[in-house]
Structure 1
Amino acid sequence: MILLSDIASRSAPPQRNQDVAVRAVAAPATICLPYRPESVAAARRFVGAKLREWGLDDLMDDASVIVSELATNSVRTGCQTRMLVAVRRPSDRVIRILVGDGSRSMPVMVETGPGHTSGRGLAMVHRLTRGRWGVTPLPLGKIVHADLTVPEPTSR
């Protein structure tokens, strides 16, 4: 049986020719949070702290929106277990944010009009990740992941 914790604990193998400094700080991080509205802010702080540790402050705003939307969707499932939030660095050019929950309901991107007060979350995730997000269904829930591209370092 595949569990949320099994998926989140997997880390990518080291990349060839990867910068030693990147490998040293790219340790993945995972946290379990209760299904409460205040967990969305905790998820933002968690991902933000990891990005600061990795020196990726330029991705903070986009990552904050992404994890907020995914965690909010997870909180709304009404699950009674724990929500999993993880951040990975599968390569030196990619940050992956994962949010897992105990619901098998798949996220759906919907079109909204100007009068709608909600429903834009996955469209924002789609736009910020340039379509690089997806869902892994599990026997006891799902994990939604979203990938952000790390900007090229600027030479001085």
Structure 2
Amino acid sequence: MTLLSNATRGTLRLDLGVKVHQRAEPATVCLPYQPASVAAARKLVRAKLREWGLDVLIDDATLVVSELVTNAVKTGCQTRMVVAVRRPSPDRVRILVGDGSRVMPVMIRAGHDATSGRGLAMVHRLTRGRWGITPLPLGKIVHADLTAPTE
């Protein structure tokens, strides 16, 4: 997995000072475990979906990446997380967030008064259950797929 594209057609500057080259190919960025990384990840996903003409997925995709990056930030890892957006097919987008923690996210049933715990349930609903986890020797990758509605 490459961290940045070598393209020079256009450059997107994320709020954390990370440059991501834009083109019709996948985008991957390495971000620190900071709350500001959530906004940077949303910006990356929004820009790629606009570039790909998949504006219809922007709201759901930015919510999904927000939840996945927020979970990664909470792991307390000290390295950097990897956030990627791919386009496996013309109508499908895959968002990936890799972190250095082997603790697997768990979907819980949050109570009515709970102030947290609903993130993965929202990801599950928005992706229609098309999300998952790939354990790695030094962490994991959580992926979520969104499909554009057919006409």
Of residues 111, 127, 149 in structure 2, which corresponds to 1:113? 111
Give, in whole Å, the separation in 2 of the partners of 1:92 and 1:26.
11
Tell me, yes or no, if the aligned pair for 1:102 and 1:140 is still in contact at 8 Å: yes
Return the index of the structure with the highest Cα Rg: 1
User: Do the aligned partners of residues 56 and 50 (structure 1) sit closer, same or farther apart at CA in structure 2, a change above 3 Å counting?
Assistant: same
Give, in whole Å, the separation in 2 of the partners of 1:101 and 1:68.
14
The superposition leaves residues 4-49 of structure 1 with CA deviations (integer Å, 9 ceiling, x where unpaired) of x47x89xxxxxxxxxxxxxxx6411100000000000000001100
Give, in whole Å, the separation in 1 of the partners of 2:97 and 2:130.
15
Q: Report the counterpart of residue 139 of structure 1 in structure 2.
A: 137
- Matching of residues 76-155 of structure 1 within 5 Å: 76-152=74-150, 154=151
4+ runs deviating over 4 angstroms: none
How far off is 1:50 after superposition? Answer: 0.4
User: Would you say how many aligned residue pairs link Structure 1 and Structure 2?
Assistant: 133
TM-score with structure 2 setting the length: 0.84
Unpaired runs of 5+ residues, structure 1, are: 10-24
Give, in whole Å, the separation in 1 of the partners of 2:29 and 2:62.
16
- Indicate the structure with greater strand content: 2
Of residues 44, 47, 71 in structure 2, which corresponds to 1:46? 44
The superposition leaves residues 91-113 of structure 1 with CA deviations (integer Å, 9 ceiling, x where unpaired) of 11210000000000001000011
Aligned-residue CA RMSD in angstroms?
1.5
Tell me, yes or no, if the aligned pair for 1:26 and 1:88 is still in contact at 8 Å: no
Give, in whole Å, the separation in 1 of the partners of 2:35 and 2:74.
9
The superposition leaves residues 35-87 of structure 1 with CA deviations (integer Å, 9 ceiling, x where unpaired) of 00000000000110000100111111100110000000000000001010000
Give, in whole Å, the separation in 1 of the partners of 2:51 and 2:91.
16
TM-score with structure 1 setting the length: 0.81
Give, in whole Å, the separation in 2 of the partners of 1:108 and 1:67.
16
Tell me, yes or no, if the aligned pair for 1:82 and 1:101 is still in contact at 8 Å: yes
Unpaired runs of 5+ residues, structure 2, are: 5-22
Q: For residue 43 of structure 2, what is the amino acid of its counterpart?
A: R
**SS in structure 2 at match of 1:80:** coil
- Matching of residues 28-43 of structure 1 within 5 Å: 28-43=26-41
Give, in whole Å, the separation in 2 of the partners of 1:66 and 1:26.
21
